[in-house]
Amino acid sequence: MSSCKLSLQGLAVPLALTMLCSGSADAQVGRNQGVLNPNTATEAEMSALPHMSAAKASSILEGRPFGNMLEVHALVGEALTEEEQDEVYSRLFLPLNLNETTEEEILLVPGVKGRMAHEFEEYRPYAGLPVFRREIGKYVDDDEVARLEQFVFVSIDLNTASDEDILSIPNLGNRMLHEFKEYRPYRRIEQFRREIGKYVDDDEVARLERYVTIK
Q: What is the pLDDT of residues 158-201, one digit of tens each?
A: 999 999 999 999 999 999 999 999 999 999 999 999 999 999 99
Q: Residue 37's closest CA among 130, 171, 144?
A: 171
pLDDT, tens digit, 9 for 90 and up, residues 37-92: 999 999 999 999 999 999 999 999 999 999 999 999 999 999 999 999 999 999 99
Q: What percent of the chain has pLDDT over 70?
A: 88
Reported confidence tier of residue 27, pLDDT bands at 50, 70, 90: confident
Whether 12 shows a pLDDT value over 80: the answer reads no
What is the structure's pLDDT at 26?
57
The pLDDT of residue 210 is above 70: yes
CB 92, CB 35: distance < 8 Å: yes
Name the residue with higher pLDDT: 85 or 3.
85
Query: What predicted TM-score, i.e. pTM, was given to this entire model?
Result: 0.86
79-to-54, 68, 72, 83, 85 alpha-carbon distances in Å? 16, 18, 12, 12, 9
Torsion of CA 48, 52, 56, 61, to 10 degrees: -40
Cβ neighbours of residue 202 closer than 8 Å, sequence gap 6 or more = none
Q: Percent of the chain having pLDDT more than 90?
A: 87
Q: In this predicted structure, what is the pLDDT of residue 142?
A: 97
The answer to whether the CB of 27 falls within 8 A of the CB of 165 is: yes
